Amino acid sequence: MSIPFITTIKGMTIAPVQTLLEQKETTIQDMLLYYLEISLAFSLLCTIVAGLLSSVGVTTAVDLQVPVSLLIYPVTLFAGMIISLVIMVLVFHGCARIVGGDGEWTDTLRAVALSSTPAGVIGWVPIVGSIIADIWSLVLMIAGVRDYHHLTTRRAAIAVLLPVGVIFVLGILAAAYLMVGSSTLQMPS
């Protein structure tokens, strides 16, 4: 029996802790299906928004005025979300175990899938929606890791925020490196 898509979105929006607890026994197949549905919604909504912005002259990450881009962009985005699911489950599960969590990898998958809800709900809204969705997802992920791995909120926060912080710092360092590198490659006039 699959989990009701709209009901789960509503639950993760209005009563996330209760919904996390209710989904504790949901099958992995149903959780994967939910994640795929959220990812598909996010990919399609991002494509529509990027296409609309591109059509009025706003520069976006991809030129969606080229017809092939309308097919490649959502497929690539969707594939990236599937790959990120695997990476997030591995990283967050490992971190949860390091801080003393006793849940299975399937519990981590549930937490990751359910915490992706904000992406499908508002993550496709340019700038503000993405920021809100990211913060909201982190809060939901901490709650999911806490409940599914039987951790304190502090330990769950460490398990979630530590790898996110490392990636954030690495991203800043990479951006700084690219900025310095691009300024030193300029030809003298």
pLDDT, tens digit, 9 for 90 and up, residues 101-110: 999 999 999 9
Rounded to 5 degrees, φ, ψ at 94 are: -60, -45
pTM of this structure: 0.84
User: Contact 74/43 with Cβ under 8 angstroms?
Assistant: yes
- Confidence (pLDDT) at 1: 47
Confidence of residue 46 (pLDDT cuts 50, 70, 90): confident
Across 134-147, average pLDDT: 96
Give the DSSP H or E segment for 135.
helix 128-149
**pLDDT of residue 144 exceeding 90:** yes
Q: Which of 17-21, 92-96, 174-178 has the highest mean pLDDT?
A: 92-96
Which of the four pLDDT bands, split at 50, 70 and 90, describes residue 47? Answer: confident
Q: Report the alpha-carbon distance of residue 19 to residue 12 in Å, rounded.
A: 6
pLDDT of residue 70: 74
Supply the pLDDT for residue 183.
Answer: 63
pLDDT tens figures, 49-92: 887 887 777 766 666 666 677 778 889 989 999 999 999 999 99
The residue-averaged pLDDT of 154-172 equals: 95
DSSP per-residue codes, 32-101: HHHHHHHHHHHHHHHHHHHHHHHHTT---SS-TTSHHHHHHHHHHHHHHHHHHHHHHHHHHHHHHHHTT-
Q: What is the pLDDT of residue 158?
A: 97
Instruction: Report yes or no: 19 and 12 within 8 Å, Cβ to Cβ.
Output: yes
Lowest mean pLDDT among 8-12, 99-103, 111-115, 124-128: 124-128
Rounded (10°) CA dihedral 77, 178, 86, 23: -80
Helix axes 67-98, 105-115, angle to 10 degrees: 130
Residue 180 has a pLDDT of 80
Angle, vertex CA 167, rays to CA 164 and CA 172, nearest 5: 125
pLDDT band at 48 (very low <50, low <70, confident <90, very high): confident
